[in-house]
């Protein structure tokens, strides 16, 4: 992908799943240096770092829990003075399924902090470096839940991902005149750790039956679209949330 070569990228939530696939895909596309953020799965992050290096890129790890302000502040401090060309705000989670009457204020804050506040504040920290370099690309990871409301117990997660889609448009309008393109991807159901944790095999099979392509997504399906949005091939795409779901939801 032209436009990736020689770039420095930061991918949050990159120890497994979509984030891991994206970090490796960026390295394969020619990124010079990939910063891999992770929270608790160090082994996975180290394996991703090895794969990034095997693609010819350099890399580094940053550990932080982005569901809490100290973790966000740690990442912000680590990247504030860096000149990062590509930012992928992938870190996020449903955290746990809980209905309206089960939801606690603490859980609400944790879901919103992890999925929305962390993306906002890390973007705020990275953009000055992009401005110094005269441009950059930011891709936020939303979810099909932002369009459908999510499944049972996922309402706040869905609301958080809808906020990501709205934030993408606002930041795109603000930053495009300064050479920074902001877009988002909205994955459908992807067969990865997220759904191993939060969905049953029966739920996944029901979802699969509703997908016109007849299969669940893969991490690579999403990562390839993210890399495309970071590349020169997407040079005139700004403020879009690209639905990547095998045809399950057609906007």
The stretch 171-177 carries a mean pLDDT of 98
Torsion, Cα 33 184 137 120, to 10 degrees, reads -90
Q: How far are the Cα atoms of 75, 159, 188, 195, 241 from residue 147, in angstroms, in the given order? A: 30, 9, 10, 18, 11
Residue 199: pLDDT over 80: no
CA 164 to chain centre: 10
Q: Compute the average pLDDT of residues 86-106.
A: 96
Q: What is the mean pLDDT of residues 11-35?
A: 98
Identify any residues that bridge with 137 across adjacent strands, giving them in sequence order.
86, 181
Q: Which residues are catalytic?
A: 157
Cα dihedral value 232, 212, 14, 69, nearest 10: 100
CATH number belonging to the domain at 8-244, selected among 3.10.20.740, 3.40.50.720, 3.30.110.70, 3.40.50.880:
3.40.50.720
* 192 pLDDT higher than 80: no
In the chain, domain spans: 8-244
Burial zone of 22 (CB within 10 Å; 0-12 exposed, 13-18 middle, 19+ buried)? buried
Q: Return the pLDDT at 251.
A: 67
Spell out the SS3 assignment of the chain. Answer: CCCCCCCEEEECCCCCHHHHHHHHHHHHCCCCEEEEEECCCHHHHHHHHHHHHHCCCEEEEEECCCCCHHHHHHHHHHHCCCCCCEEEECCCCCCCCCCCCCCCHHHHHHHHHHHHHHHHHHHHHHHHHHHHHCCEEEEEECCCHHHHCCCCCCHHHHHHHHHHHHHHHHHHHHHHHHCEEEEEEEECCECCHHHHHHCCHHHHHHHHHCCCCCCCECHHHHHHHHHHHHCHHHCCCCCCEEEECCCCCCC
The pLDDT value recorded for residue 195 is: 65
> Strand 86-89 vs strand 58-63: parallel, antiparallel, or unpaired?
unpaired
pLDDT band at 198 (very low <50, low <70, confident <90, very high): low
pLDDT digit string, tens, across residues 147-169: 999 888 999 999 999 999 999 99
Dig out the tokens for 33 from the structure.
């240096």
Compare 45 and 209 and report the one with higher pLDDT: 45
Share of the chain above pLDDT 70, in %: 98
Name the average pLDDT for the chain.
95
Using the predicted structure, report yes or no on whether residue 74 has a pLDDT greater than 80.
yes
């Amino acid at each position: 992908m032209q436009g990736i070569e020689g770039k420095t990228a930061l991918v949050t939530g990159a120890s497994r799943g979509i984030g891991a696939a994206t970090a490796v895909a960026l390295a394969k596309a020619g990124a010079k240096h990939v910063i891999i953020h992770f929270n608790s799965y160090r082994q996975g992050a180290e394996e991703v770092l090895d794969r990034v290096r095997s693609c010819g890129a350099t890399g580094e790890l940053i550990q932080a829990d982005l569901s809490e302000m100290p973790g966000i502040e740690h990442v912000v401090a680590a990247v504030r003075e860096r000149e990062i060309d590509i930012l992928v705000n992938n870190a996020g989670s449903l955290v746990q399924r809980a209905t309206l009457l089960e939801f606690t204020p603490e859980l609400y804050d944790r879901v919103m902090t992890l999925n929305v506040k962390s993306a906002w504040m890390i973007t705020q920290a990275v953009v000055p470096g992009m401005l110094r370099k005269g441009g950059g690309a930011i891709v936020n990871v939303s979810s099909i839940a932002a369009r459908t409301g999510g499944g049972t117990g996922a309402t706040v997660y869905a609301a958080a991902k809808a906020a990501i889609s709205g934030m993408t448009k606002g930041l795109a309008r603000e930053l495009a005149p300064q050479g920074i393109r902001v877009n988002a991807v909205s994955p459908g159901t992807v067969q990865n750790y997220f759904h191993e944790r939060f969905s049953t095999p029966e739920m996944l099979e029901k979802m699969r039956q509703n997908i016109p392509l007849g299969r669940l997504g893969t991490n690579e399906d999403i990562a390839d679209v993210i890399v495309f949005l970071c590349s020169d091939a997407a040079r005139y795409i700004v403020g879009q949330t690209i639905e990547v779901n095998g045809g399950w939801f057609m906007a």
